[in-house]
């Protein structure tokens, strides 16, 4: 039961689009991730998708509009809504998802979940 320093956790890796679990809250994973360029269009049928920008600027593309987020801003994509995160430069995010949620919405194409 130690405090968690987000910057310290983010300094431990450099790969993009591979969320790292830093702790759990009930049955939810609290994760940090670095992103750059475009992710795949996807949706989560069973859960909302929570994005909190820690550093940089993130665009979450929806089929009907774009959501632009700056550091300190968050957006929740409702379950079942197709979306694609895009970052022109490296962005650091905090994510909260039910444990085991595949980041692509599909277990076959999802990044392997790692804990740091």
Q: Is 17 exposed, middle or buried (0-12, 13-18, 19+ CB in 10 A)?
A: middle
Please provide the CATH number assigned to the domain covering 6-115: 2.60.120.10
The model carries a pTM of: 0.90
User: 3-state DSSP call for residue 84?
Assistant: strand
User: Cβ neighbours of residue 83 under 8 Å, at least 6 residues apart?
Assistant: 41, 42, 43, 49, 60, 61, 62, 77
Q: At 112, is the pLDDT very low, low, confident or very high (cuts 50, 70, 90)?
A: confident
Nearest to 51 by CA among 19, 80, 22: 19
pLDDT tens digits along 2-25: 899 999 999 999 999 999 999 999
Dist CA 8 CA 61 (whole Å) = 29
User: 3-state DSSP call for residue 36?
Assistant: strand
Whole-number pLDDT of residue 104: 63
User: Cβ neighbours of residue 56 under 8 Å, at least 6 residues apart?
Assistant: 71, 87, 89, 90, 91, 92
pLDDT tens digits along 72-103: 999 999 999 999 999 999 999 999 999 878 66
Domain extents in the chain:
6-115
């Amino acid at each position: 039961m130690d405090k968690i320093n987000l910057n310290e956790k983010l300094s431990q890796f450099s790969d993009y689009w591979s969320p790292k679990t830093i702790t759990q809250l009930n049955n939810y994973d609290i994760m940090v991730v670095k992103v750059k360029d475009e992710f795949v269009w996807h949706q989560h049928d069973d859960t909302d998708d929570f994005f909190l920008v820690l550093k940089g600027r993130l665009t979450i593309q929806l089929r009907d509009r774009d959501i632009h987020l700056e550091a300190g801003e968050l957006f929740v994509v409702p379950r079942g809504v197709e979306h694609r995160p895009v970052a022109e430069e490296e962005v650091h995010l905090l994510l909260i998802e039910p444990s085991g949620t595949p980041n692509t919405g599909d277990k076959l194409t999802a990044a392997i979940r790692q804990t740091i």
